[in-house]
């Protein structure tokens, strides 16, 4: 212990800290200032609404402090991150608590060095200035060693990521590599400084802190201060409106570039495409690389798996959509011709079936649905048996939000006119847009998996049990988007044996046919399809079952066994 109250080596730390605090305050004001008026109102309200306030506290503690989502994804990484972040947090907290154990130092007030100022750096360099009581000394050493154990795992991950269960890791530029090096060395330096009290190490420790904090705003470590804000904004129910402003900006800075989405992304099956994953997209946005972020946004299939695995819950798909919306177009659509289109069918059907564009190309699904509805004795009507109007989602996916409205308005009109109370869809692409964008009050919207499940449970459909082994592929827009996981599985189990795929439910791999991507070539899509098929064939099923016409067509090209829609499986096993 040195009975000093100041040493110049604290200056780098003080400078760095001051810088980062200023930056955060400015950043916070900027993000909130960029929110639209409505969004801002929503945000303030969410802070005082008990339900969201509770969710805020729960997630800030759970995610920012204990990293529950990483633990769930990969316990080794969970420990790594918790060791470093939680350990560091505890060191800071304990450091501050220790301030209270300090006896007033002689001469402090005399020399005009107020305690308020020393409190700023005392907890960081405590051992240099004061004596730790044994309990605190133990705790400090414990957490310091915990951090160092976390750093050791991080080093292993960097050198050979497969040991910790990660295939592909992010590749960083100079700044990110340098700050990471600073982070890794902060704690060993502190340990050495504390144990040996060699001046050079106190200096190194402080300079490391300076480097870390000075570079923080320009690197991925900005997620440390931003994530809490992002959680607040997310719980306020906001949607990113512009790719680099307001809510999206908070998300950009919250992305820790952990790279968990790289392995998850279906495109990564080709290493060349792993640069098109969300982690890189967010990095490009952070760096202001408009061209690349635009390209990645248009390559993405919008399958949502990156969002499902993200430990921070970054809504990268939504940000990519806002990026697409930001593109100016020279020619706008004109769908005024739809005004003249009238459906001449009048019926008193209670169920309206909308096959959708894609299902027109898979007549087996349409025929199966017809058989099913007839067998169940339903009063039904086909809305687009002679070719209908597109649901509008493909147009929305291109970012042309306004131009999708004419189609949606026409379909809404046709559906309302039919008088049906239920709308059954075969295509999850349609299902998503009908569920999210259409204003169809009083009309129940169902995907045929849900509808068939209901008919079987009500006893309206009777199916034969056979010994076929099926595997079910979750279409992205049905599974991850709406959590329709159980209905199709229950339907299949009532007919045959359901085998598990290697990755299921929220981890299921996109078929590769997605309308979400504009830029993927046929060959790149084929690679994704082959990988997805392999995953489905994990337990050697006799047949692959899916619930999306696009998945069906895509898989049929590459699968070694028959690929069927769930409706077809049910229709052929009706009693």
- Residues 122 and 99 sit within 8 Å (Cβ to Cβ): yes
> Can you tell me which of 341, 342, 346, 500 binds other proteins, judged by CB under 8 A?
341
CB of 262 to other proteins, least distance (A): 24
Verify binding: residue 400, other proteins, rule CB under 8 A: yes
CA–CA separation, 502 vs 139, rounded Å? 43
CA–CA separation, 300 vs 518, rounded Å? 8
Nearest-10 crossing angle of helices 199-215, 174-196: 150
Verify binding: residue 398, other proteins, rule CB under 8 A: yes
Verify binding: residue 407, other proteins, rule CB under 8 A: yes
Show the DSSP H helices in 386-425 as ranges. Answer: 393-397, 405-418
CB of 273 to other proteins, least distance (A): 15
Of 75 and 363, the one with the shorter C-beta distance to other proteins is 363
Closest CA to 20 of 247, 218, 181: 218
Element of type H or E holding 22: helix 10-34
Of 348 and 522, the one with the shorter C-beta distance to other proteins is 522
Closest CA to 101 of 49, 140, 43: 140
Distance of CA 493 to the CA centre of its chain: 30
> Can you tell me which of 40, 422, 505, 557 binds other proteins, judged by CB under 8 A?
557
Total binding residues for other proteins by CB under 8 A? 41
CB of 571 to other proteins, least distance (A): 11
Give residues with Cβ within 8 angstroms of 484, minimum separation 6. Answer: 447, 449, 450, 478
> Can you tell me which of 258, 303, 389, 495 binds other proteins, judged by CB under 8 A?
389
Of 87 and 516, the one with the shorter C-beta distance to other proteins is 516
Beta strands across the sheet bearing 351-354: 380-382, 351-354, 422-425, 444-447
Per-residue CA distances from 206 to 14, 98, 490, 535 (Å): 9, 20, 60, 50
Of 206 and 362, the one with the shorter C-beta distance to other proteins is 362
Of 388 and 479, the one with the shorter C-beta distance to other proteins is 388
Verify binding: residue 394, other proteins, rule CB under 8 A: yes
Element of type H or E holding 28: helix 10-34
- Residues 368 and 571 sit within 8 Å (Cβ to Cβ): yes
Verify binding: residue 360, other proteins, rule CB under 8 A: yes
Contact characters 368-387, other proteins, x per CB under 8 A: -----------------x-x
CA–CA separation, 125 vs 132, rounded Å? 11
353 φ, ψ (degrees, to nearest 5): -105, 125
Q: Which residue's entry shows tokens 């379909």?
A: 411
| β-sheet bridge partners, residue 27 | none
Verify binding: residue 357, other proteins, rule CB under 8 A: yes
Per-residue CA distances from 279 to 109, 252, 519 (Å): 51, 10, 18
CB of 431 to other proteins, least distance (A): 15
499 φ, ψ (degrees, to nearest 5): -90, 155
CB of 276 to other proteins, least distance (A): 15
Of 357 and 425, the one with the shorter C-beta distance to other proteins is 357
Of 259 and 392, the one with the shorter C-beta distance to other proteins is 392
Verify binding: residue 363, other proteins, rule CB under 8 A: yes
CA–CA separation, 297 vs 281, rounded Å? 7
> Can you tell me which of 490, 507, 553, 561 binds other proteins, judged by CB under 8 A?
553
Contact characters 494-533, other proteins, x per CB under 8 A: -------------------x-x--xxxxx-----------
Of 85 and 433, the one with the shorter C-beta distance to other proteins is 433
CB of 85 to other proteins, least distance (A): 42
CB of 330 to other proteins, least distance (A): 6
Task: Name the DSSP letter for residue 300.
Answer: -
Interface of this chain with other proteins, residues 320 to 339, rule: CB under 8 A: 327, 329-335, 337-338
CB of 455 to other proteins, least distance (A): 22
Per CB under 8 A, residues contacting other proteins are 327, 329-335, 337-338, 341, 357-358, 360-364, 367, 385, 387-390, 392, 394-395, 398, 400, 407, 513, 515, 518-522, 550, 553, 556-557
């Amino acid at each position: 212990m040195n009975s000093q109250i100041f040493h110049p080596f604290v200056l780098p730390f003080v400078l760095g800290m001051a810088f980062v605090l200023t930056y955060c305050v400015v950043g916070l004001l900027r993000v909130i200032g960029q929110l639209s008026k409505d969004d801002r109102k929503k945000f303030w309200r969410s802070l005082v609404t008990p339900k969201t306030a509770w969710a805020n506290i729960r997630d800030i503690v759970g995610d920012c402090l204990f990293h529950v989502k990483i633990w769930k994804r990969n316990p080794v990484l969970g420990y790594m991150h918790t060791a470093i972040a939680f350990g560091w947090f505890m060191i800071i907290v304990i450091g501050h608590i220790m301030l209270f154990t300090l006896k007033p130092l002689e001469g402090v007030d005399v020399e005009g060095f107020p305690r308020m100022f020393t409190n700023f750096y005392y907890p960081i360099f405590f051992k240099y200035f004061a004596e730790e009581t044994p309990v605190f000394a133990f705790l400090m050493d414990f957490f310091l060693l915990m951090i160092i154990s976390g750093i050791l795992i991080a080093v292993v991950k960097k050198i050979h990521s497969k040991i910790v269960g990660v295939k592909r890791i992010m590749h960083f530029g100079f700044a990110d590599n340098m700050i990471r090096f600073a982070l890794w060395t902060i704690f060993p330096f502190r340990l050495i400084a504390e144990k040996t009290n060699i001046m050079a190490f106190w200096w190194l420790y402080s300079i490391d802190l300076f480097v870390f904090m000075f570079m923080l705003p320009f690197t991925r470590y900005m997620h440390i201060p931003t994530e809490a804000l992002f959680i607040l904004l997310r719980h306020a129910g906001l949607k990113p409106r512009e790719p680099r402003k307001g809510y999206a900006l908070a998300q950009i800075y919250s992305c820790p570039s952990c790279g968990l989405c790289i392995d998850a992304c279906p495109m990564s099956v080709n290493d060349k495409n792993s640069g098109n994953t969300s982690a890189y997209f967010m990095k490009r946005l952070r760096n202001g690389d408009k061209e690349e972020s635009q390209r990645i946004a248009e390559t993405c299939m919008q399958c949502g798996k990156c969002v499902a695995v993200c430990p921070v819950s970054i809504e990268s798909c939504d940000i990519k959509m806002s990026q697409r919306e930001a593109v100016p177009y020279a020619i706008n659509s004109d769908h005024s011709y739809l005004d003249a289109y009238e459906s001449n069918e009048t019926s008193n059907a209670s169920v309206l079936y909308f096959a959708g564009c894609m299902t027109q190309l898979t007549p087996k699904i349409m025929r199966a649905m017809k058989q099913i509805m007839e067998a169940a004795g339903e009063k039904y009507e086909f809305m687009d048996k002679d070719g209908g109007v597109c649901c509008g989602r493909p147009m929305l996916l291109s970012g042309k939000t306004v131009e999708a409205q004419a189609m949606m308005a026409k379909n809404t009109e046709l559906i309302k006119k039919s008088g049906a109370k239920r709308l059954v869809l075969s295509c999850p692409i349609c299902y998503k847009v009908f569920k999210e964008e259409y204003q169809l009050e009083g009309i129940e919207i169902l995907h045929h998996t849900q509808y068939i499940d209901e008919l079987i449970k009500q006893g309206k459909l009777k199916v034969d049990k056979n010994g076929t082994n099926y595997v079910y592929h979750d279409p992205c827009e049905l599974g991850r988007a709406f959590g329709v996981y159980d209905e199709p599985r229950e339907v299949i189990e009532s007919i045959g044996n359901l085998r598990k795929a290697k990755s299921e439910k929220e981890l299921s791999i996109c078929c590769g046919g997605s309308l979400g991507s504009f830029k993927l070539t046929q060959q790149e899509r084929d690679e994704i399809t082959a990988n997805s098929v392999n995953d489905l064939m994990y337990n050697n099923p006799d047949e692959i079952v899916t619930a999306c016409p696009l998945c069906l067509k895509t898989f049929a090209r590459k699968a070694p066994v028959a690929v069927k829609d769930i409706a077809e499986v049910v229709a052929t096993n009706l009693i």
